[in-house]
Amino acid sequence: MAERKRIGFRFSYNENWIAGSYYILNIIHALNTLEDEKKPKVVILSETIENFNIVKNETNYPFLEYFIFPFPKLKYNLLQRAINKLSRVVFRKNLITKLHKQPNIDFLYPNHIDAINVPKLKKVNWVPDFQEEHLPQFFSKKEIERRKHIQKEIYCNGDIVVLSSLDAEKDFKRLYPRSKAKTFVLNFAVTHPNFNHIDSKKLLNKYNLNDPFFFSPNQFWAHKNHMVILKAIKKIKDNNRNILVLFSGKESDFRNSENFNLIKSYIAENQLENYVKLLGFIDREEQLCLMSKAIAIIQPSLFEGWSTVVEDAKALNKFIILSNLAVHLEQINKNVHFFSPNNHEELGQILDKYNKEYPETSEFNYKESIYKFAEKFMDLTSK
What's the CA gap between 110 and 112, in Å, rounded? 6
- Residues 340-363 have pLDDT tens digits of 999 999 999 999 999 999 999 999
Q: Is residue 282 located within the same domain as residue 166?
A: no
**What range does the domain containing 23 cover?**
6-72+99-190+371-381
Stretch among 61-65, 116-120, 141-145 having the lowest mean pLDDT: 116-120
Q: Is the pTM of this model over 0.75?
A: yes
Give helix 308-316 / helix 366-381 axis angle, nearest 10°. 140
Whether 10 and 56 share a structural domain: yes
286 and 139 co-located in one domain = no
Strands of 6-10's sheet, edge to edge? Answer: 64-68, 41-46, 6-10, 107-109
Residues 274-293 have pLDDT tens digits of: 999 999 999 999 999 999 99
What percent of the chain is predicted at pLDDT more than 90? Answer: 80
Neighbours of 41 (CB within 10 A): 18
Statement to judge: residues 226 and 363 lie in one domain: yes
**CATH for 286:** 3.40.50.2000
Q: Quick one: 39 and 165 in the same domain? A: yes
Q: Is 145 found in the same domain as 22?
A: yes
Q: Which tens digits make up the pLDDT trace of 15-61?
A: 766 778 889 999 999 999 999 999 999 999 999 999 999 999 999 99
Amino acid, single-letter form, for residue 102 = Q
* Same domain membership, residue 178 and residue 216: no
- Report the range of poorest mean pLDDT among 4-8, 14-18, 250-254, 304-308: 14-18
Number of domains in the chain: 2
What separation in angstroms does the CA of 207 have from each of 187, 247, 363? 34, 12, 30
290 shares a domain with 208: yes
Please indicate, yes or no, whether residues 117 and 28 belong to a single structural domain of this protein.
yes
Residues 64 and 180 in one domain: yes
Please give the torsion angle defined by the CA atoms of residues 318, 186, 132 and 220, in that order, rounded to the nearest 10 degrees: 30
- Per-residue confidence (pLDDT) for residue 96, from 0 to 100: 81
Question: Residue 181 sits in a domain of what CATH number?
Answer: 3.40.50
Radius of gyration of the chain (CA): 24
Residues 307 and 230 both lie in one domain: yes
Do residue 113 and residue 216 come from a single domain? no
3-state secondary structure of 303: coil
